[in-house]
Structure 1
Amino acid sequence: MWAWLRRRRSAPEIPEALWRRTLERYPFLADRPAGEIARLRGLAAEFLAGKEFHGAGGLAITDEIALAIAAQAVLPVLHLGLAWYDDFVGIVVHPDEVVARRSQVDESGVVHDWDEVLAGEAMEGGPVMLNWHDVAHAGTSAEIGFNVVIHEFVHKIDLRDGAADGCPPLPSRAARKRWLELMEREYQRFREQVIVAERFGGEAPWLDPYGATAIDEFFAVACEAYFVNRERFGREFAELTALFDGFYLPKP
């Protein structure tokens, strides 16, 4: 078994049988050109060499768990490079969703406490938290565009400039302005769909309604679907598909 609780100096050799099982379990990884799959495998190995996995709640990190997370985590940066993830090392994996105690002081000074159920969490400059149940079922949940690994690692991309605003670091102010204008328009459209569905019995949107809570969550939810079910996402969000292509895919 690979040593997950320490930094490795070289990328581990991914056994062929383990890699094939991973591709079979997650068809959205396997359904790519051979060149991309080879690059995905190499990048996943580099990811494993630079990150530390920690099991929580009695979960033991196995090769299967670590590779499943690594292969999905590197998908957004397949053509961007692992430097986008160089602000953290630790990845904490729980068996299932966890309940976090939250506290916030409002403008009147009143303290509000509540419990929040988390499938995962990405902290600026800190570790990423995931749950193995959702990771393990990512092959089937791709049908509804859900993927907790991609969601949390897209948050990491979003946070590279220090702001959780639904926009990754871009090369110019003009590019950022165009990005935010489109994201805001699509976010408001999606938010309206969720409100109509929840309050008035309208048709439920395809994407996870959690994306309607904030624009950065909409960005992460949209990217989940973009990477695991591009065909459906392209039909639902043609403009966002073109926007994401311009960022995530190789430049001509």
Structure 2
Amino acid sequence: MPTLSQFLFGAVLFGALVAVLGIALAPAWQAWRRRTLARQPFPAAWRRVLARHVPQVRRLPVDLQLQLKQHMQVFIAEKPFIGCNGLVVTEAMRVVVAAQACLLLLGRPGGHFGNLRQVLLYPGAFLVDRVRTEAGGVLRDERQVLSGESWSQGQVVLSWDDVLAGAADPADGRNVVVHEFAHQLDQADGQSNGAPPLPRGMSAARWTRVLQAEFSALQRQLAAGEPNLLGDYAATNPAEFFAVASEVFFEQGPQLAAERPALYAELQAFYGVDPTAW
């Protein structure tokens, strides 16, 4: 008969083996669950929400529409939504956010915003208090009014008013959901620097060279007062350049390809889709 110490040792060993087995099987179980979710019939109520609020979906080729809906089903099942400032999050709100966020996943096999833990929705623009370091190391409190924000800890914060406005016009190059979820992709390695982890086969050296050159070219254009497609905010830093360029890529693909072909080519390789064909 085993002693108490032997029994406890055996119990601990068994628990450790179960834990290790669970960790080993978790990816396979998650992949199975996602395939099951993607195969479910797309709810008719969600179709009506898309038809009313997200006209971008109608622009997509039929095969990409199907992929988008499959990604949405997984996204809505996996990502919690939290209402802020009294906002009650509805199913329609989840659908509108998910449809725009999942555009970024269409050409990225296996991508599901793995670091994203929560989506926080405010009724409208929200206030954020920040401390800014000025010249000489002087710290100054600053209050900002924002329509969206992405945190490397796994949260995306959005203004519902701006989510709706961004979805309403799929060709104006401005979409807060695409912008903030581009930041999530950028932050997948813990940094927000305009250099997201690249798909296999892409050259990191070429990505860095092209985006740095395009960022510098934009700054020169703005300094000279020349018109451009990306706008002032894209020149803030490389992270914002990537996020703004992603908005324009998905909403004004043909114009971006004509004005900045090298940048368009890198974004096309990164996202795995070609909006010039939509």
Q: TM-score range by the shorter chain?
A: 0.7 to 0.9
CA contact (8 A) 1:26 1:139 kept: yes
Residues 60 and 208 (structure 1), Cα distance of their counterparts in 2 relative to 1, 3 Å cut: farther
| Selected match of 1:150 from 163, 173, 178 | 178
One of 69, 73, 89 as aligned partner of 2:117: 89
Question: In 2, are the aligned partners of 1:26 and 1:138 still within 8 Å (CA)?
Answer: no
Question: Number of residue pairs matched?
Answer: 238
Confirm or deny that 1:241 pairs with 2:269: no
Distance (Å, rounded) in 2 between the aligned partners of 1:115 and 1:68: 29
Aligned to 1:142, the other structure's residue is in SS state coil
Determine if contact 1:54/1:91 at 8 Å carries over to the other structure.
Answer: yes
- Match in the other structure for 1:133: 161
Query: Any stretches of 5+ residues in structure 2 without a counterpart?
Result: 1-32, 274-278
Q: Percent of aligned positions with the same letter in both sequences?
A: 31
2:142 is aligned to 114
The residue that corresponds to 1:231 in the other structure is: 254
Runs of 5+ in structure 1 lacking a partner?
1-7
For 1:180, what is the secondary structure of its paired residue? helix
Task: Give the Cα separation in 2 of the matches to 1:23 and 1:239.
Answer: 34
Q: Do the aligned partners of 2:68 and 2:99 also contact (CA within 8 Å) in 1?
A: yes
Look up the match of 1:213.
Answer: 236
- Cα RMSD (Å): 2.5
- Please give the secondary structure, in 2, of the residue aligned with 1:47: helix
Deviates more, 1:17-26 or 1:144-153: 17-26
**SS of aligned partner of 1:54:** strand
TM-score between the two structures when normalised by the length of structure 1: 0.85
The answer on whether the counterparts of 1:84 and 1:157 sit within 8 Å (CA) in structure 2 is no
- Which of 232-241 and 79-88 deviates more? 79-88
Return the offset for 1:189: 1.3
Larger % of helix: which? 2
**Alpha-carbon distance in 1 for matches of 2:153, 2:110:** 15
Match of 2:188 in 1: 160
CA contact (8 A) 1:100 1:115 kept: yes
Aligned match of 1:4:
none
The residue that corresponds to 2:12 in the other structure is none
Q: CA deviation at 1:115?
A: 1.3
TM-score norm. by structure 2 comes to 0.77
Q: How far, CA to CA, are the matches of 1:237 and 1:23 in structure 2? A: 32
Within a 5 Å distance, the mapping from 1:169-208 to structure 2 comes to 169-170=197-198, 175-197=203-225, 202-203=226-227, 205-208=228-231
Q: Is the 8 A contact 1:55 1:92 kept in 2?
A: yes
Question: Which one has a bigger Cα radius of gyration?
Answer: 2
What are the Cα deviations for residues 164-222 of structure 1, in whole angstroms up to 9, with x where unaligned? 2212213689811110110011111112223333xxxx54x332421110011000000
Q: Does 231-240 or 57-66 show the bigger shift?
A: 231-240
Deviation at residue 27 of structure 1 after TM alignment: 2.4
TM-aligned CA distance change 1:153 to 1:212, over 3 Å: same
CA spacing shift, 1:229–1:147, aligned 2, 3 Å: same
